[in-house]
Chains A and B, each alone.
Chain A
Amino acid sequence: MGRTASGQAQAVRATSRLDLGLMLLGIGPALILIVLVVVLSFLSPVFFTPRNVSNILAQTAVITVVAMGQHLVILTRGIDLSVGSNLALASVVGALLFQAGGSAPVVILAMIASGALVGSVNGLFYVFGRLPHPFIITLATLSICKGIALQLADGRAIPGMPEAIRVLGRNAFWGLPGSVFVVLGVGLLLLVLTRTMVWGRWIYAVGGRPEAAVAMGIPVNWVLVSTYVTSGTCAGIGAVILAGRTDAGSPLFGNLLELDTIAAVIIGGASFLGGRGHLGHAVIGAIMIGVIRNALNLLNVDIFFQLIIIGVIIVIAVECDVLRNHLEARVRVVQAGRAR
């Protein structure tokens, strides 16, 4: 009896150690971001000035919005490679409509609709075309959207955006760029949709175990389609923001945005294996990428190093995910040992 009691105590200690490790892994990205900001503030006198902070926010707004969509796709074990080209096409569509005399609401709605349309093509072909992995269809639409955008714009940027869109690129309110408020709005909406509604619960279930989701009667196909539509819509919103900042639409926008957004989601702490992560991860990851780029610029570090550093961080983030799975397996073993 004394032995079981001490065994129990040992098990309790082991679980609490494991729980501590898992908790640190959970808040790790946010912690690293805070440390990064503090260290950089000491390294560069310019870094933590209101002007530079607002600069970082303006630069990360696009990645953040698109990463929030990408995050939902990754939650379902998918990937959306088309977001960058999708954004470029949407911006070109918007610019052409403005040239043709479209009003601001029409231009905005057209960009968002263009993004959503590409997203629905991704989702519908992936699900009902019975493709083995979304990699393939989104790779195809990456190419197709880029081609259409280049064709429509004749390979050049098309200058000119309505005032209501340009305001997003300026320091509009309280010294913050207008785009920040768009990001906040989209984030809040997605938070409500994924955290309080059945749809969000289904996304997590599909990502957690797709076969079980089918067996439980969850409309898995439509959940998958909906995440690609959402991701495409976010790319369209990203197009509005970027067009506002640059006062133009361009087929060259969004180059490598798919990689930035995937990196943001993973660095932020969501799992590539699906079903794990929340909106905060996408936001933290996107800001971290923005902060690192900005700081390396301020510190005059070569652009090539930026690529290397972000790559290294991705590897660390993925290894943390592996470590989390390992720790959870240990918790299971401890639990089995305690059963009586």
Chain B
Amino acid sequence: MNGAALQTEALSPLLSVRGATKRFGSVLALDGVDLDLRRGEILALLGDNGAGKSTLIKCISGLHRLDSGAIHLDGLETEIRSPADARFAGIETVYQELALFDNLTPAQNFFAGREIAGPAWLPRGLRFLNKRGMDAEARQVISRLKITLPKLDVVVAKMSGGQRQAIAVARATVFARKVVILDEPTAALGLRESRQVLNLVATVRDQGNAVILITHNMEHVVELADRAMVLRQGRKVGEIVPTNSNKQDLVAMIVGA
């Protein structure tokens, strides 16, 4: 008991959200939700469609702003007003649909919006691209995460769903100094490609990132997640350590049975 308490203290949350509330017109999308996330941990965020999962991660990643509530990173209250703010704070998000630029190569995708370029005294848009530097760094990340790609100089439009998802996850890990948020990373993939992306998610965690994983697949939750948190109608209705034996309880919490 004592040991556990000590450990909890040593692993104080990297990201903590308190009383997150968000309203769209008359709809209360989030109603005072709390969330804690530690380094090297995967937190599964579960809930039925419209339960508030997407709204919550969009607030954390800066696409929406909270009506009330606070976001703390490393114990410091952090105001996140835009995607740029979130990324600056070290939070990276892989969205389900709007992940990649089809017309760009993997390296160009990695650095979209934060190109390595200079000289620094020029306005950002007029700096010269350091293409070689970006290519080299992208290649390094891809090999570190053991991702297999056909070629690095082709546009991602020519890559399979799994390869594209791997690139999107890898991109997040290049820059995430703190938190990686994954929104249904395997939703559109076949079995074999899902497996590769799940392995990649585990690698990302093992390299010390804190991960929020949204998924509908209970097998994946049990396999990967250290904790699972369930939202229903904008409220947090439960949080447990997922195991094969309590899978049914999780499903019950999700549907509210």
| A interface residues, Cβ below 8 angstroms from B | 15, 196-199, 201-202, 204-205, 207-209, 211-219, 222-223, 226, 275-276, 328, 331-333, 335-336, 338-340
Check A205/B112 contact, CB under 8 A, given A212-B99, A332-B157, A339-B160: yes
Complex CA distance for A211 and B190, rounded to whole angstroms: 26
Check A209/B102 contact, CB under 8 A, given A328-B158, A332-B161: yes
Check A328/B157 contact, CB under 8 A, given A205-B112, A215-B98: yes
B152 contacts chain A at the CB level, 8 A cutoff: no
Check A198/B126 contact, CB under 8 A, given A328-B157, A332-B158: yes
Q: Are B114 and A217 in contact (CB under 8 A)?
A: yes
User: In the complex, which residue of chain A has the Cβ closest to the Cβ of B108?
Assistant: A201
Instruction: Give the contacting residue for A217; candidates B83, B160, B192, B193; CB below 8 A.
Output: B83
By DSSP majority rule, is chain A's interface helix, strand, loop, or mixed? helix
B159 contacts chain A at the CB level, 8 A cutoff: yes
Q: List 16 A-B contacts (CB under 8 A).
A: A197-B128, A198-B126, A207-B103, A212-B100, A212-B112, A213-B101, A217-B83, A328-B157, A328-B158, A333-B160, A335-B158, A336-B160, A336-B161, A336-B162, A339-B192, A339-B196
Q: List chain A residues, Cβ under 8 A from B192.
A: 339-340
Closest 6 CB pairs of A and B: A216-B113, A336-B160, A217-B84, A208-B101, A335-B160, A275-B103
Complex CA distance for A215 and B98, rounded to whole angstroms: 8
Q: Are A215 and B63 in contact (CB under 8 A)?
A: yes
B163 contacts chain A at the CB level, 8 A cutoff: yes
Q: List chain B residues, Cβ under 8 A from A205.
A: 101, 104, 112-113
Q: Are B162 and A217 in contact (CB under 8 A)?
A: no
B236 contacts chain A at the CB level, 8 A cutoff: no
For residue A274, give the distance in angstroms from its CB to the closest CB of chain B: 8
B255 contacts chain A at the CB level, 8 A cutoff: no
Complex CA distance for A209 and B150, rounded to whole angstroms: 23
B205 contacts chain A at the CB level, 8 A cutoff: no
Q: List chain A residues, Cβ under 8 A from B41.
A: none
Q: List chain A residues, Cβ under 8 A from B190.
A: 336
Q: List chain B residues, Cβ under 8 A from A328.
A: 157-158
Q: List chain B residues, Cβ under 8 A from A199.
A: 125-126
Q: Are A198 and B117 in contact (CB under 8 A)?
A: yes
Quick one: which of B101, B148, B161 has the most chain A CB within 10 A? Answer: B101
For residue B134, give the distance in angstroms from its CB to the closest CB of chain A: 10
Complex CA distance for A204 and B112, rounded to whole angstroms: 10
Complex CA distance for A198 and B98, rounded to whole angstroms: 21
B87 contacts chain A at the CB level, 8 A cutoff: yes
Complex CA distance for A316 and B150, rounded to whole angstroms: 31
Q: List chain A residues, Cβ under 8 A from B158.
A: 328, 331-332, 335
For residue A206, give the distance in angstroms from its CB to the closest CB of chain B: 9
B124 contacts chain A at the CB level, 8 A cutoff: yes
User: In the complex, which residue of chain A has the Cβ closest to the Cβ of B87?
Assistant: A217
Q: List chain B residues, Cβ under 8 A from A209.
A: 98, 100-102
Complex CA distance for A328 and B100, rounded to whole angstroms: 15
Q: Are A213 and B113 in contact (CB under 8 A)?
A: yes
Q: List chain A residues, Cβ under 8 A from B100.
A: 209, 212
Q: List chain A residues, Cβ under 8 A from B215.
A: none
Q: Are B114 and A332 in contact (CB under 8 A)?
A: no
Q: Are A218 and B103 in contact (CB under 8 A)?
A: no
Q: Are B160 and A198 in contact (CB under 8 A)?
A: no
Check A215/B104 contact, CB under 8 A, given A202-B125, A328-B157: no
For residue B218, give the distance in angstroms from its CB to the closest CB of chain A: 24
B129 contacts chain A at the CB level, 8 A cutoff: yes
Complex CA distance for A216 and B84, rounded to whole angstroms: 7
Complex CA distance for A336 and B162, rounded to whole angstroms: 7
For residue A331, give the distance in angstroms from its CB to the closest CB of chain B: 4
Instruction: Give the contacting residue for A201; candidates B84, B129, B162, B163; CB below 8 A.
Output: B129
User: In the complex, which residue of chain A has the Cβ closest to the Cβ of B102?
Assistant: A208
Q: List chain B residues, Cβ under 8 A from A198.
A: 115, 117, 124-129
Q: Are A204 and B101 in contact (CB under 8 A)?
A: yes
Check A217/B103 contact, CB under 8 A, given A197-B125, A199-B125, A332-B159: no
For residue B80, give the distance in angstroms from its CB to the closest CB of chain A: 12
Instruction: Give the contacting residue for B93; candidates A196, A215, A338; CB below 8 A.
Output: A215
Contact bitstring B62-73, A, C-beta under 8 A = 1, else 0 = 010000000000
Check A211/B98 contact, CB under 8 A, given A205-B112, A336-B161, A340-B192: yes
Check A215/B103 contact, CB under 8 A, given A198-B125, A205-B112: no
User: In the complex, which residue of chain B has the Cβ closest to the Cβ of A274?
Assistant: B103
B82 contacts chain A at the CB level, 8 A cutoff: yes
Quick one: which of A196, A223, A335 has the most chain B CB within 10 A? Answer: A335
Q: Are B150 and A335 in contact (CB under 8 A)?
A: yes
User: In the complex, which residue of chain A has the Cβ closest to the Cβ of B189?
Assistant: A336
User: In the complex, which residue of chain B has the Cβ closest to the Cβ of A206?
Assistant: B101
Check A213/B112 contact, CB under 8 A, given A196-B128, A197-B129: yes
Complex CA distance for A49 and B61, rounded to whole angstroms: 63
Contact bitstring B153-181, A, C-beta under 8 A = 1, else 0 = 00001111111000000000000000000
User: In the complex, which residue of chain A has the Cβ closest to the Cβ of B58?
Assistant: A215
Q: List chain A residues, Cβ under 8 A from B157.
A: 328, 332
Complex CA distance for A222 and B160, rounded to whole angstroms: 33
User: In the complex, which residue of chain A has the Cβ closest to the Cβ of B61?
Assistant: A215
Q: List chain A residues, Cβ under 8 A from B113.
A: 202, 205, 213, 216-218
Q: List chain B residues, Cβ under 8 A from A275.
A: 101-103
